[in-house]
Amino acid sequence: MPAVTWTPAMSVGVEALDTDHKMLFGLINQLADAIAKGEADAIVASIINGLVDYTEYHFGREEAMMRASGYAELESHHVAHRQIIEALQHIREAYAGGFRDGIERGLLDFMRDWIAGHILGEDMKYAPIMKGREAELACVDEAYTRRLIQLAAN
């Protein structure tokens, strides 16, 4: 049984962001599965790295779309995102440093509780603002992706 399950009620109405959310759910479920199976630290560390990196990517894309939509609560949403990223980075660093005592389960519980609450609470606030702007948001998404590719190339 998965640790978290995405449901249609969690859709924010923007395919790219819904896909990101589903990907995060998948990573959380991979972590839960790896923990349950007692898989090697290297596998768990890889999943944690993927979870942190994809969360950062998703937040950047989501905020770019909020900015383009003129979302009034972007700054407070950004602050919440920064807090999550900082917490995830600390967990990743602790795990990489050899701290294992309860960190896997703590991360899993943290992410499971956070993701559903954040999507159903905070993310649903921007859904009406973005509704009907799919073409415009697709352009924002393409520009965001191009910028990331350019940064990676440099």
- Quick count: other Cβ atoms within 10 Å of Cβ 14? 24
74-108 in b/e burial notation, b at 16+ Cβ within 10 A? beebeebbeebeeebeebbebbeeeeeeeebeebb
Report, as an integer, the average pLDDT of 120-145. Answer: 92
- Of 95, 96, 63, 90, the residue nearest 79 (C-alpha): 63
For the chain, what is the mean pLDDT? Answer: 90
Distance (Å, whole) CA 14 – CA 27: 20
Distance (Å, whole) CA 6 – CA 123: 14
Question: What is the per-residue pLDDT for 100?
Answer: 77
**Which range among 62-66, 104-108, 129-133, 137-141 shows the weakest confidence by mean pLDDT?**
104-108
- Checking if the pLDDT of 123 tops 90, the result is yes
- Checking if the pLDDT of 149 tops 80, the result is yes
CATH of 15-149, one of 1.20.1050.10, 1.20.120.50, 1.25.40.10, 3.40.50.300: 1.20.120.50
Dig out the tokens for 117 from the structure: 């609450």
Q: Where are the domains of the chain?
A: 15-149
- Checking if the pLDDT of 29 tops 80, the result is yes
Distance (Å, whole) CA 44 – CA 53: 14
Report, as an integer, the average pLDDT of 137-149. Answer: 90
Q: Tens of pLDDT along 38-86?
A: 887 888 889 889 989 999 999 999 999 999 999 999 999 999 999 999 9
